[in-house]
Amino acid sequence: MTAASSQSAFLHFLALLLAASLLASGCAAPVLQSPPPEARNLPAWTMPDWALPGLAPEAWKPPLQIPATPPRRTVRLLEPSVANQEDSGDPLQIEPPPLYPEFSLEPSPEELIGKILDDTGLQVMQAALEQMGAPYASGGSSPKGFDCSGLVHYAYSQIGLDVPRSSQELYKIADKVDMTELQPGDLVFFRIYRRRISHVGIFVGEDRFVHAPSRGKRVSISSLEEPYWSRHLVGAGRLR
């Protein structure tokens, strides 16, 4: 026997007991009402109103059902341009914060200058590397022959810049650069004779530089890690 049928039988028993009591006292027996269909699935502890004498079935109402979860409310996000307008009601209107901060696709002056310097250094380096194998010539600054400062002067002239013709003057006007921050196109300076700057090369990356070494040799690449060059290295500079 199910819980519902047990409940129905128990309630009928109570109604019959009440009717018998009323008959014994001389009162008219009430008309027993059948439970409405909605009451079939009520839990056993619920006492419906129709069990009371004289209450018509149509007056019966099922107990209030509390939903397990609160009802959802639709939220509609508005564009900032219309979010400040007067709200006429539902749905709830919320003004969203800006998704992206203001920014510009245009480079800043610092970024632009850095890019120009990078491009200049690469062009200078390329111009010098194109002269690989050219003979050394004292006082030379053309593909027919170069000395060290002549190669630097020639490389800068290929991009329209006029720079000093001696390694000593180049060292004076160059902005000093830490050896850990060297970029292609920077100049590396050496002190070979006495106490003055007497040699210059163009940095090409990976601790190497291109230069016109000395009489009887040709434009070539050497390493800053070679004992001879590391011993005479003074520092580095950048022409702006």
Catalytic annotation, residues = 148, 199, 211
Q: 222 and 208 in contact (C-beta within 8 Å)?
A: yes
Backbone angles phi, psi at 202, to 5 degrees: -110, 120
Q: What are the structure tokens assigned to 22, written together?
A: 């009323």
CB atoms within 10 A of CB 145: 18
Listed in order, strand segments (DSSP E) in 55-169 are 75-77, 92-94, 141-142, 145-146
Exposed e or buried b per residue across 117-138, where buried means at least 16 C-beta atoms within 10 angstroms of its C-beta: beebbebbbebbeebeebebee
Looking at residue 14, its amino acid is L
Q: CA-CA distances (angstroms) from residue 215 to 44, 83, 140, 188, 228?
A: 114, 79, 11, 20, 17
